[in-house]
Amino acid sequence: MTFTNYCLKLQRDTKNLELALYALDSNHAQAQASDIARALQVNTFLLSYKEIKDSPLSCLFKRLAMSDFDHGTCDIWEASFCNNSPVIYTLGCRYYVRPLILDYLEINKEGCVKPSCGNRLCINPYHNSYKKMKASKLGDADTNLVLAFSSRGVPVKEIAKALNVHRSTIYRTLNREHLHARAADH
């Protein structure tokens, strides 16, 4: 595959940013520019033919556009960190990398995203786990499993063992989901 170099100029209020962008053709470049602008919450952007130096942010977006991530390998963020989480500072804002990836990929999840691999430095989108609450031990998929097991009469002790968590975590999850269901009915 042959990629063309583009320059994406983004503007937010009085702040400007130029990003290197690599695309197969002009339609691909325009689609990437729109995705990047949406993720960075920027309304104004301009795409031009110009070769500029890569930055950690442009490399991230390039890898996302090309689906250049491996399911089995952690991708370690080597730029900035805040609260032990990968971040990028640009356009006068701090962006946490994992939610930024979700916005770029148009995956809107309520709650927070954590690495399922347990490596706080990992930004691999395949390792993202979505949690309803920051301190939650179970992701959305695990919560659905708890509800499915419970509806079939599986004892809490067995559910906890299957998901490798304490029984109290299962009880809290069932109570929380029960309360959400009751609130939705009213």
Closest CA to 24 of 70, 53, 54, 65: 65
Where residue 180 falls among pLDDT bands split at 50, 70, 90? low
Distance separating alpha carbons of residues 63 and 21, to the nearest angstrom: 11
H or E element that contains 115: strand 112-115
Q: Which CATH class is domain 140-185?
A: mainly alpha
Q: What is the 3-state secondary structure (H, E, C) of 156-184?
A: HHHHHHHHCCCHHHHHHHHHHHHHHHHHH
Phi and psi for 170 in degrees, rounded to 5?
A: -70, -45
Distance separating alpha carbons of residues 117 and 71, to the nearest angstrom: 10
pLDDT of residue 164: 80
Where residue 111 falls among pLDDT bands split at 50, 70, 90? low
Where residue 145 falls among pLDDT bands split at 50, 70, 90? confident
Q: What is the mean pLDDT of residues 122-129?
A: 88
pLDDT of residue 117: 86
Distance separating alpha carbons of residues 139 and 152, to the nearest angstrom: 20
Contact 78, 56 (CB under 8 A): yes
Give all strands of the β-sheet with 93-96 in edge-to-edge order: 80-82, 85-90, 93-96
* pLDDT higher at 39 or 173: 39
pLDDT digits (tens, 9 = 90+) for 9-38: 999 988 999 999 988 888 999 999 999 999
Where residue 133 falls among pLDDT bands split at 50, 70, 90? low
Contact 63, 36 (CB under 8 A): no
pLDDT mean across residues, the chain: 85
Structural domain boundaries in the chain = 4-131, 140-185
Distance separating alpha carbons of residues 8 and 4, to the nearest angstrom: 13
pLDDT digits (tens, 9 = 90+) for 57-94: 999 999 988 888 998 899 999 999 998 899 999 999 99
pLDDT of residue 152: 85
Residue 31: partners with Cβ closer than 8 Å, 6 or more residues away: none
Q: Percent of the chain, pLDDT > 70?
A: 88
- What does R_g of the chain's alpha carbons equal in angstroms? 20
pTM score? 0.69
